[in-house]
Each structure stands twice: as structure tokens, then as C-alpha cells.
Amino acid sequence: MKNPFLSDFNTLYNTIPFDKISIEHYLPAIEEGIKKGLLEIDAIVNNIDKPNFTNTIEALEKAGALIEVVSMTFSNLNLAETSKEMQALAKVLSPKLSDYANDIILNVELYKKIEVVYYTKDKLTLNAEQTMLLEKTYKGFVRNGSKLNDIQKETLRKIDKDLAQLSLSFSENVLAENNAFQLVITNPSDLSGLPEGIIEAAKITAFEKGKDNAWVFTLDYPSYGPFMTYSENRNLKEQMFKAYGSKAFKNNEYDNQNILKQMAVLRHDRALLLGYKSHADFVLEERMAESPSTVFSFLENLLDSALPFAKLELEELKEYIKINGGPADIKRWDIPYYSEKLKKEKFAIDDELLRPYFKLENVINGVFETSKKLYGLSFVQRSDIPIYHKDVISYEVKNEKGEFLAILYADFFPRSGKRQGAWMTSFVNQKTENGVNIRPHISIVCNFTKPIDSKPSLLTFNEVTTLFHEFGHALHGICANGQYGSLTGTSVYWDFVELPSQILENWCYEKECLDLFAKHYQTGETIPADYIKKIVSSSNFQSGLLTIRQVGLAMLDMAWHSENPKEIESVKDFEINATSKSDLLPSVSETCTSCSFSHIFPGGYSSGYYSYKWAEVIDADAFEAFKEKGIFDNVVAKSFYENILSKGGSEHPTILYKRFRGRNADPKALLRRSDLLPVK
């Protein structure tokens, strides 16, 4: 069979021909991509002309086109639609890709040419984007070992290979543990408190798993979350909580304790080898925060602001539990259930009241309409674009002039081959080559509540904000309009990448936006204005507790990556110590967040989890600009599009944000929005 990667795709907009790709195509395509990529590097190195921006920096940027498309396709599907065969292949491909990257970054002659161009930059006539590409290229080589001696380079190669393999193992273990657990209920009385739709979904899951006369709950969040929130069976909630929190922390074949310790040590050793004090110092050099001390100061300030509120919120919850005959000794698995009851009592609102107004298809249309009103975008579903799973929907995106802008893939429901959570990624990055604007192919992947026999997919309000969040990332990719693929879309400083995603969540709280799509799935009735007021008034419910939870996770990340991890013996003890300032309840001995903390170990958020809160400050400030003029104000939206969404990483984010806002972000904007400013 002809390898689809090694010939023209002949598909609409050159989309990936998923329907023609088989697992046996990846390895030969990767090997051919590596071969072609290294020949392109040789051509740069062997060019007898004096190194300049075009024949060195731009040529390097263009090299490796085949390896890029194959590796992006494989890595995306290994997250969204994996299998035992793909996981085995990943272990074969990983060292090859690691070697390929290091063959380029550690190429002495290539680095010398880059250095020549870099040190003559003052004599070059470059625009802002070209200057950024030159800076990023030079720093990328220096920061990843170009100045090391041969022995050190070999050490670096081994570290990178080992890290790549450990990262794969970490992810596979978490997925295996997630898929292995199921809570099988056979006694109907154990379903007490659960909404009808959740019970019906559990019945369908049981049928799919071959269980007769039973209900099955899993650790997929659309199953786990509602069970913890509504079940009246405290013992079963304890069982679920411990199963969820103990993933890859059971001293079995899927245990991640040694893996994550090895990863932390290797990252630390790598940083030392490159001349940095820690992995955090290495990472943060290329972030807005710039240093660990800035991040710790930022987190401490947030903690100082939120902790008094969090303590009051916890005391309020304990008192509510006491008054309502709940357990005297409150445990972590009690929190979701009683918090939801307290919220409903205070605000007369809960997820089940709102679900009927958030049919998935309506929410999708709502985020599309929001994008149209803000940026003039339109989305047309296509059936002639290949997809990688039957659940995936593909869209053609056009701008306000009707011109093709992007391809969007949407993948919404849980399945055994998909990682938990929600994310945005791309199969093709936007770039300009030979005067042609190559438009991006973007994907959003979520794990939402599945439709059942009696109901369509009805989202919780949290799932609505998740969809808007990931769609904000997608807009960052869709609207990209730059010269170089490595600088477009979401290729920005990591603590700036969450701005487009988090700002879009704000529209979910606005009546003008909700009226576009929040309609009862049976009656078509628009969501009552009173419900919207309740959504807004309850939006800061337990915001102190939520804030210290996020701060605690960020501190855990920084602890793993800003200290010397070689002396760490107990992962659990280390975690308890790292989060002690933000934990208001005793740790549960059977659970350990680090062992399934995919964001910071296999994911790209190591020394960067703080960026969610960092970007919240910026997004709160940015949304105030919309609120001042109107949430669909064309002038503000145009400025955000032109200065943020379309610019990617072409300039420093501080410059881009100032161009949009006219000033730096006000740090108090987040505290204002979260009602965490101290009362005078």
C-alpha cells in the first residue's frame, strides 16, 4: 500500500488523509522525514555563501517539513486515539525523534553559521518578526547545548532520550490506571441522589462493558464528577475519590513514583549541564515571569489574598454540614457533595437546573456565533474532510470576507483511547511560504457528557466554560497570520498562551452571549434572565478555595523543578510539604497528585503551571476593556484580533499586550473579578 505521507494528499485544503493512514505508515515516513530533514540541514551547512538571514535562519525554519507533519499527526493521535500498537510504536519513534532534534541542535557547523548571523544582527534590516525568529533560533541553540563539548553533548543526548521514554511511560500508566477502574453498582439504592441522566449514562456504560443489571461509573470526568457531586453514598464516594487520586500510585506495574523522580532528576541534571541552577531557572528564562523568584512571589501574593477567604469558606461549609446532620469529621470526598448543596441553597442554582439549556450542539453554535460577532468568522461543517474517529466533526472556517481561514476538528466525547481532560492542538501550523499563506488545521479535544438514549449531550456550566476555553486556544491558531510557523498561533511564551483561552470564558457569564445559544433542548425557551443572574452571582462561590487549590498545584510544580530532587525519597511526603501552605484539609494517604499530574510531567507545563493564574490576571484586565465598551464592541475586538490573536509569538507578549490595552495589565483585575480584595 502506498504511504500517504510520502505523496501528495490530494484532499480538500491538503488535510491529513486519516482514512488512508495505517499504523505501518508512520515508521517509514518518520525515517524518510529524518533523512530529508538532515539533507536540508547539510545544504545549509555546506552553502559556500556567507551566512545570512535568508540562507541560514529562514532556511532552517523551512527545513523538516515532512518530519513535522508526520510527527504532529502521530503525537496528536497518540493522545486522542491511541492503542497498544501506537504506544509500542511511540517507544520506537521517540528516540529517533530525539536523536534527530539533537543532530540539528548540536550541529557545530550549523551553530557557527547561526552565530555569524546573530552577531551581525545590528547591520541587518529585519522587521519585528524576523528579529524574533533570529533571537529565538540563536537562543534555542545556546539553551539546548550548542556550546557544550563533545562529552557533554553525548550526556545531553542520553538525557533527552531518557526523558522522552519516561514521558511516554508516565502517560501510558495514567491512561491504563484510568481505564482499569470501574465502580459497578447492582443495588439501586446506591444510586440515591444521582440525577436521572447520570444514572442512564451509567446504565449504558455497564451495557458497553458487558455488565447486566448494573450501573458502571468510571474515572472519566463526565462520570466521576457528577458521582462525587450528587451521590448520597459516602462510602462509594470515598472509593471513587481514592481511585481517582491514586492513579499510578499503587506500587504496581503502572506506578509512576520512580518515573517522575527520574524525570525530575534528569531535568535538573540537564539544567545544570546547560549552566542553570534548576530546571525552573532554565524554563523561566524564556517566560514573562523570567525567574523562579518572580513566580514564587506571584503565588505567595495570591495565596495571601485568597487564604483568608478560603478559610472562611471552609468554615461556612463545615457549619452547613453540621447543621444538616453531615459527618463531624469532614473528608475531601465530602466537599463536592456538600458544596453543591450549599451553593444551591445560597443561589438556588445547580448543574442539573442548567443542563437542559446547554445542549452541546447549541453551545457549539453559540461559540461559533460569538466568534462571528467578535471577529467575523464563520464555520461550515464538512463531510468531505477525512477524520480520525467517527465522533470527530470537521469544519471549514472563513473570515468576514468569505475567504478560507482554517480547518477545525472537534472531538468531544470520552473513549478508552483518549487521554482525560481537554486540549487544543494543531495538525498544520499557519505560515507563509513563497508568498503563499498556508492556513492552519486546528483541533480541540474534550471529554464531555455523552448523549444517551433519552437525552442529547447536555453540558454542565463548567463544561460550557471548558468548551469556550479550548475554543479560545483554537481562535489563537485559526486567526494566526505570520511569516514563520514556529512563531504563529499558540507558539508564544507559555505564561501568555492562556490569555486567548481564558478571556473567552468571560462571555459565558454575559446575558448578551448566553441569549445566543442557551435554549432549553425540549422547549426552545431561552435561558431565563433570573438563571443568568444566579450564574453570575454564584460565579465566585468558594473562589478562595478554588484559588488556593490552583496555587497549591503551581507550588507543587515549582517544588519539583526549582529544587535539587536527588535527595527526594518519598514522593508523597515531598508533595505534602510542597502544598502545606495551601492545604486546609489533611492529605489522604492513598492518593498522590504528582503521580498523575500529566500537565507537568509528560505535558508541557513543567515550571509553568503558574501560567494559568498568571494569564488570569491578564485576561481579567483584558476583559475589562470589553466590558467598558461592550462585550461585542467591534473596535476592541479588532484590536484584540490584530494585536493578540493574529500575532502569535512574533513579538514579546508585553509589547503585544500594551499595544492592545495601552498599558500593562492591572494585577488587581483578577482580585476584583474574584471578589478577593480585602474589605476596607
Amino acid 530 reads D
- HSE of 487, CA atoms in CB hemisphere, 13 A: 24
Catalytic, 575? Answer no
Question: What distance in Å separates the CA atoms of residue 420 and residue 398, rounded to the nearest whole number?
Answer: 30
Partners of 437 in the β-ladder: 432
- Total count of residues recorded for the chain: 680
As a whole number of angstroms, the distance between CA 61 and CA 138 comes to: 12
- CA-CA distance, 160 to 174, in Å (whole number)? 21
Residue 625 CA to residue 475 CA, distance in Å, equals 19
Q: Name the residue among 516, 511, 411 with its Cα closest to residue 470.
A: 411
- Can you tell me the distance from the alpha carbon of 621 to that of 674, in angstroms, rounded to the nearest whole number? 12
Give the CB-side neighbour count of residue 548, counting CA atoms within 13 A. 24
The alpha carbons of the chain give a radius of gyration, in whole angstroms, of 25
Long-range pairs of 389-392 with CB within 8 A, sequence gap ≥ 24: 389/80, 389/81, 389/415, 391/415
304 vs 309: CA distance, rounded Å: 10
Q: 3-state SS of 223-244?
A: HHHHHHHHCCCHHHHHHHHHHH
Q: 437: helix, coil or strand?
A: strand
Phi, psi of 505 (to 5 degrees): -60, -30
User: What is the C-alpha to C-alpha distance for residues 68 and 71, in angstroms, rounded to an integer?
Assistant: 5
Question: Could you give the CA distance from residue 209 to residue 223 in angstroms, rounded to a whole number?
Answer: 14
> Could you give the angle at which helices 543-562 and 292-323 cross, rounded to 10 degrees?
140
Cβ atoms 231, 337 nearer than 8 A = yes
Q: How far apart are alpha carbons 357 and 436 in whole angstroms?
A: 43
- 193-217 burial, b at 16+ Cβ within 10 Å, e below that, comes to ebbebbbbbbbebbeeeebeebbbb
Nearest-10 Cα torsion for 174, 176, 179, 182 = -90
Q: Determine the angle formed by the axes of helices 611-629 and 543-562, rounding to 10 degrees.
A: 140
Residue among 58, 470, 510, 651 flagged as catalytic: 470
Sequence-separated contacts (24+) of 449-453 with Cβ below 8 Å = 449/197, 449/201, 449/222, 450/201, 450/204, 450/222, 450/413, 450/414, 451/360, 452/197, 452/200, 452/201, 452/204, 453/200, 453/204
Q: How far is residue 263 from each of residues 53, 275, 409, 609, measured CA to CA in Å?
A: 37, 18, 33, 17
Cα-based distances in Å from 282 to 133, 540, 608: 20, 36, 11
Identify the CA nearest to 370 among candidates 244, 251, 483, 512. 512
Catalytic annotation, residues: 470
